[in-house]
Amino acid sequence: MSDTSVEKKEAGPPPDEPVTGDAEPEKRKREYKDFGHEQEGPTHVKVDMDQIQLTAEDLYDKEKVDLETIVVDDVFKLLQCTEEGLSAEEAIRRLELFGPNKLESEEQNAFLQFLSFMWNPLSWVMEAAALVAIALSNGEGSAPDWQDFVGIILLLFINSAIGFYEERNAGNAVKALMDSLAPKAKVKRDGKWLEIESADLVPGDMVSFKIGDIVPADCRLTEAINVSIDQAALTGESLPQNKKLGDQCFSGSTCKQGEAEGVVISTGPNTFFGRAASLVGQDDDTTGHLQKILAQIGSFCLVAIGIFVLAEIFCLYAGFRYQYRRGLDNILVLLIGGIPIAMPTVLSVTLAVGAQQLAKYKAIVTRITAIEELAAVTILCSDKTGTLTTNKLTIDRSTIRTYGAFSGEDVVLLAAYASRTENQDAIDSCVVGAIGDPARARAGIKLLDFKPFNPVDKRTEITYREESSGKLKRVTKGMTGIIIELCTRNKNDEIENQLEADVEEFATRGLRALAVAYEELEGEDPEAEGNGFELIGLLAIFDPPREDTKQTIDDAIALGVKVKMVTGDQLAIAKETGRRLGLGDHMYPAKVLKDGPAPGGKHATLDEMILDADGFAGVFPEHKYEIVKRLQGLGHLCAMTGDGANDAPALSRANVGIAVEGATDAARGAADIVLTEPGLSTIVHAIRGSRIIFQRMRNYSIYACAVTIRIVVCFAILAFAYKFDFPPFMVLIIALLNDGTIMTLSVDRVLPSSTPDSWDLQEIFAYAVAYGIYLTASTIALVSIIIKTTWFFDRFGVTLENGATSAAGNHNDRQLHMIVYLQVAIISQALIFVTRSHSFFFMERPSFALMGAFCLAQLVASIIAGFGNWGFTQIHSISGGWIGIVWVWNIVWFMPLDLIKFAMKATVIRWIRERHNKVVQRETADGVPMTRTQSRAASIHESMYSNRVSFIRRAARKVGFGQKVSMKPEELQRFSSIQAQRTGATLARNPSRTAA
């Protein structure tokens, strides 16, 4: 064991054991609790090693084969390799057999990726309209409606091209990130050491690594020189683990001390990390939260269109006896104008632009719809080690205990003397770091002898000459129980009682204890006995919180997000960290997740306990997964931060998985957002940024639904009331102008909410109906005045086609069509300024892009109105007088829109929210507070939208993110054995031709 074991073994008994402060009457041997784990000895394969052709069933039978624990010689036999490494030919063969040492990737066909933007119910309706225009509109001696067909196809391709472009850019950004993180490995091939890409490693390879290196694959050590491996990413504990010959090292762990060689037993997805990353793949919900929202918004629009299409079929054909082609054109108007065809693309572009903005805060988004879900997150479950804390041990100066004439600073300095200054382990590094300048650890002294830590003595020792006095002195530091036994000079019941009490106190606070003793030597012999050690101090070691973590937690709470610590470390350590961060120390051990709350306790149910807790300690991967799953079951959207393979299952299960800086490939593969900068402050920026993006999407959703209602209701009523036949091609022009303007919403200036957002679709649909009906009234009123009266003609001297001063005799005057086109185009786009603001529209300044696009679209619409005279469709240009009338008319009707918004808030929206609150109160009658996110239930065809809104999923898979390999949860605790055995099974079925 190494000094790291000292730290691990000095914390005393568990916090729930009583502290014994008084000595018993009979002298007893004091025991300082050892937190270590007993190591099982190596075993042999219980099969005939001459029969190397093992079956898969044999390899899965741990009674016969367990590559994790069998002797290394048997590993070499089973994997058909030697310490000289594989030959280049055999390495190539095994690379083809086992695949690369990285998460599997899959290529996305660019053409299919482009076409997939046209694969959702909204696009299907537009595609059906195109087929109607080209295939069904050629009756009664008329040619197919080529113009409408080309226009619809152009509209579809423009939307697909924009989404495709953004998707490819996002995918390339993720790929570039992963390429920059590609690791190297030192491997022996043909008896020579080479440096290759880690991806080229295969089972049976001999690899080498030293201090600071990342272990490139799961391996068994064949040589180990003072090796200490940091497996915090695996176990959640701060302490590196000492490794010896024959021990197993896991891919992605870090070598903190020494040098080692080993034989690779598992690579790629079959490693511990690879399997952890894909643990919950079989439970993956490919239909994300935003897809469900899209599906329901799409359903609303489709239902509205369907109702009025059916009404037109019955009314126009059965009632008015329309000819086939005339009725079909009216139906096309509803299909083309009512479908918010740009909705998937607009939301995708909004998310993609948002992802680029988050990248400025060093957050790489690997699943783009996670941005939307992050805005709605109500609970942030955070790992402790390396996430809330620095994963770097530190001396806690405020708790140093002294037992003699030396001060606390003296104790730290003497402990630094007794530490290595090069090739340090974690304990030596933190002790030397505590004195500020590492040079002080050897300043003013001459090193005569140094004994490094070893698992027998469990301490370090230095003998030195003090240059100022010339005296020989000796200092030792190490495990408390070992050090006190050496202290013959001041060892007595009082000191022992005090030391035991101090160690117990440290243990209850989650601090590790390190004892320091000192003695002087007579004469000049550095190997001579001293005058007896004297216990001089006790150092407390802990993993300190990051500097910005407390502020980050405070900011998250201010944003309405509750933070819970979920760590694999001990309960006492978790509570101490929670106290230091202001997170609270109301934490529970993981066993309560199985046992449930104590009878008669504060909590009646496990769910209530999980919601109330500040955190959980001693958790394994399945515990983290269970916590997240239960919180989601209560209606919460959860974010989970982590950095290691042990976090991967929960990262994958969470609505938003966040891999912090320095995370393993397994964690990055399971996460939706990857941080490339230390600390958690990025998460707060990401939450704020996601809420801005959410507001943009919500604003567009209200607008899109309102325009759908406005088009289908307006033109259906005009057709019923006046037999008004609006040309379908002009609806296409309106849609193109709208789409071009609305795309700029992705960069609009909006304010984030101060509480978690949620999609309350009842509110969105209520606003949409109110706005749509009002805008419908604006158009019908204008047409009615033109048809029923001569007021405009008399007042402003305008005329219609051929000088007509009334439309009473011709309800389908081509200039009247153009007037309606211009009125609908202008006020429909102007609606966005009302839906994007919470107060009066002029109180919240839009972005320059949105304002510029709106002005350009209105200029184009007015130019078309003034000069468009196209023979293939039923329109004719209008005079400047009519253009002015339409503009003034729209301005007059636009002004009350804000009043409608306020009236809706005070009546319908207030009623919806009060009813929702009553439902929540009924659901929480058992005392469990819950936050319900609206529209969690999926609609029938929600999966149809998954292609378009989860487009980064495919880009992520290209570079190895987000792999999903099925594995039963109960297999979790047998990870390493199973992976090693799989390697042997594959080789057994495919033996080397050169193998003996």
- Work out the end-to-end distance of the chain between its first and last CA atoms, rounded to an integer number of angstroms: 38
pLDDT of residue 982: 46
990 or 498: whose pLDDT is higher?
498
Q: Do 231 and 380 belong together in one domain? A: no
Taking residues 728-740, what's their average pLDDT?
88
The mean pLDDT of 19-26, rounded to a whole number, is 40
**Over residues 857-864, mean pLDDT:** 95
Is residue 115 a part of any domain in this protein? no
In a domain, 8, yes or no: no
Question: Are residues 420 and 384 part of one domain?
Answer: no
Check whether residue 554 and residue 654 sit in a common domain.
yes
pLDDT value of residue 952:
38
- Specify the pLDDT at position 384: 82
Six token digits for residue 80:
């058909």
Q: Is 154 helix (H, G, I), strand (E, B) or coil?
A: helix
Q: Is the pLDDT of residue 923 over 50?
A: yes
Domain containing residue 628: CATH number: 3.40.50.1000
pLDDT reading at 46 higher than 80: no
Domain boundary pick from 482, 517, 542: 542
**Residue 227 above 80 pLDDT?**
yes
Domain end among 502, 520, 542: 542
Please determine, for residue 61, whether its predicted confidence score (pLDDT) is greater than 60.
no
- For 403, phi then psi, to 5°, come to -130, 15
At 299 the pLDDT is 87
Q: Which residues contact 594 (CB under 8 A, 6 or more apart)?
A: none
462-507 per-position pLDDT tens digit: 999 998 888 899 999 988 888 888 998 888 888 888 888 898 888 7
3-state SS class at 382? strand
Whether 877 is in a domain gets the answer yes
The active-site residue, picked from 383, 428, 555, 643, is 383
CATH number of the domain bearing residue 792: 1.20.1110.10
More confident: 92 or 16: 92
Answer whether 274's CB lies under 8 Å from 234's CB.
no
The CA distance from 537 to 514, in Å, is 8
- Could you tell me if 550 and 538 lie in one domain? no
* pLDDT greater at residue 637 or residue 114: 637
Q: Say yes or no: 821 and 780 in one domain.
A: yes
pLDDT score recorded for residue 666: 63
* pLDDT one-digit tens code per residue, 503-531: 888 878 878 889 999 999 988 888 888 88
**Which stretch, 177-181, 621-625, 847-851, has highest mean pLDDT?**
847-851
Same structural domain, 667 and 591: yes
Weakest mean pLDDT among 548-552, 560-564, 719-723 = 548-552
> 198-212, 233-247, 326-340, 444-458: which has the minimum mean pLDDT?
233-247
- Domain, as residue range, for 520: 394-542
- pLDDT mean over 281-300: 64
Domain-embedded: residue 247: yes
pLDDT, mean of residues 701-714: 94
Domain boundary among 485, 510, 542: 542
For residue 616, pLDDT beyond 50: yes
- Averaged pLDDT score across all residues of the chain: 78
Asked if residue 372 and residue 412 are part of one domain, the reply reads: no
Q: Which residues have a Cβ under 8 Å from the Cβ of 372 and sit 6 or more positions away?
A: 289, 290, 293, 351, 690, 693, 694, 697
Is residue 771 located within the same domain as residue 850? yes
Nearest to 337 by CA among 690, 710, 7: 710
Give the pLDDT band (50/70/90) at residue 335. Answer: confident
- Of the ranges 318-322, 695-699, 862-866, which is most confident? 862-866
For residue 30, what pLDDT band results from cuts at 50, 70 and 90? low
Asked whether residue 492 falls in the same domain as residue 603, the answer is no
What per-residue confidence (pLDDT) applies to 934?
33
* pLDDT given for residue 584 in this prediction: 85
Q: How confident is the model at residue 97 (pLDDT cuts 50, 70, 90)?
A: confident
How far is it, in rounded angstroms, from Cα 714 to Cα 780? Answer: 7
DSSP, collapsed to helix, strand or coil, labels residue 656 as: strand
Poorest-pLDDT segment among 185-194, 397-406, 812-821, 970-979: 970-979
pLDDT at 250 over 70: yes
Q: What is the pLDDT of residue 614?
A: 92
Shared domain check, 384 and 403:
no
Domain count, the chain: 4
Split at pLDDT 50, 70, 90, the class of 786 is very high
Mean pLDDT in residue range 54-82: 62
- The pTM of the full predicted model, rounded to 2 decimals, is 0.69
Query: Is 643 a residue whose pLDDT tops 60?
Result: yes
Is a pLDDT exceeding 90 seen at residue 953?
no
| Amino acid 818: pLDDT | 96
- Whether the pLDDT of residue 964 is over 80: the answer is no
- The neighbour count for residue 140, using CB atoms within 10 Å, is 9
Query: What pLDDT sits at residue 276?
Result: 57
801 in the same domain as 706: yes
β strands within 643-747, DSSP E: 656-659, 673-675
Which helix (H) or strand (E) covers residue 815, if one does? helix 814-835
Task: Identify whether 244 is part of a domain.
Answer: yes
> Residue 61 sits in a domain of what CATH number?
2.70.150.10
Output the pLDDT for position 980.
41
* pLDDT at 139 (0 to 100): 59
| 262 pLDDT more than 50 | yes
- Is position 864 within any domain? yes
Q: Is residue 383 annotated as a catalytic residue, yes or no?
A: yes
201 and 82 co-located in one domain = yes
pLDDT band at 721 (very low <50, low <70, confident <90, very high): very high
**What span, in angstroms and rounded, lies between the C-alpha atoms of 90 and 109?**
33
Question: Which of 71-80, 489-498, 975-984 has the highest average model confidence (pLDDT)?
Answer: 489-498
pLDDT of 972 above 70: no
More confident call, 823 vs 212: 823
Q: What is the pLDDT of residue 174?
A: 52
Does an H or E element contain 385, and which?
A: none
CATH of the domain at 403: 3.40.1110.10
pLDDT value of position 77: 79
Comparing 311-315, 602-606, 623-627, 647-651, which segment has the lowest mean pLDDT?
647-651
Reply yes or no on whether the pLDDT at 948 is more than 60: no
Q: Stretch 32-52: mean pLDDT, rounded?
A: 48
With respect to residue 905, please indicate whether it lies within any of the assigned structural domains.
Answer: yes
**In-domain check, residue 379:** yes
Positive/negative CA dihedral, 499, 500, 506, 511 = positive
* Lowest pLDDT segment from 88-92, 103-107, 663-667, 790-794: 103-107
Q: Which of 168-177, 203-212, 644-653 has the lowest mean pLDDT?
A: 168-177
Tens digits of residue pLDDT in 802-854: 888 888 888 999 999 999 999 999 999 999 999 999 889 999 899 999 999 99
